[in-house]
Copies of this chain bind each other. A is one copy, B any other.
């Protein structure tokens, strides 16, 4: 199979494994090599061997720091001087703010009204300037463009930027280097930065390892797009996974097709049950988006039975005053 036949949306800017390796070297002085967690009790419950890549323990509390850090440290001196700007409902904004801080440059974050307060706190704490906008794509692009015009800041898109995708791929790179070849690897999919980067790293390091996305039913555009063979991103997200409400990016879609990634859809009840289970047994405060991968394995138990499975936990920035099981 010739990948280029399969991926009409592929562009020359799609990152490759070399870019993931370069990102790993670039972010090494700043990012944390997060641990891989195991749990005897969860292995027994799932009927397979689970290896959790703990990105909720990454700086900023999410894998997003990897991509943001790679983008910030990829800028030449002249570009860096003008700072960076992004739009983000939370984790990417905080990550870019923190990455900019590691390089001592300015950071602007455009946030939609209604974003999770705990995540906005982090963005402020890391010293970025917040710009509020209406919760529409048009509004956030207009405000972003305005900030770019006024400051000359470099736009770092949360998931479609190839530097960001390459950076996110370093989590799977570290995971596979630690575990050796796995049978399956799962990552949550929102815009597809983490999943796209994971697919690149896995294809190179463990070609026999099947890559899965885990996606909430209320924002299942990746599953629909892969089924249709073209991006289907016109929908109103309705899910407790605030990190996965974005729409699948174009280069991200191309990467998922190229690497024959499959998406498992889980509903919010399954995600919240998996999240609570993980909190109770592993004692880790992961956010709902992270729990989709465990929910997917528990949902398709037969499929993963007896296998060695990697699961990328995307983050742990939870509003402790509004836990999803209290609301029920």
Contacts and interface: CB of A to CB of B under 8 A. Distances in A.
Interface of A: 35, 40, 56-57, 59, 61, 118, 276, 279-280, 283-286, 316, 320-321, 323, 325-326
Nearest to A37: B57
How many copies of this chain?
2
A321 B316 contact: no
A121 to B, nearest CB: 9
A317 to B, nearest CB: 9
B325 A276 contact: no
A35 B34 CA distance: 13
A320 B283 contact: no
A320 B284 contact: no
Given A283-B57, A285-B283, A320 B316 contact: no
Contacts of A59: 40
Which are the 6 A-B pairs with shortest beta-carbon distances? A283-B316, A283-B285, A56-B283, A279-B285, A285-B285, A283-B284
Contact of A280 (B40, B118, B326): B118
Contact of A325 (B40, B280, B316, B321): B321
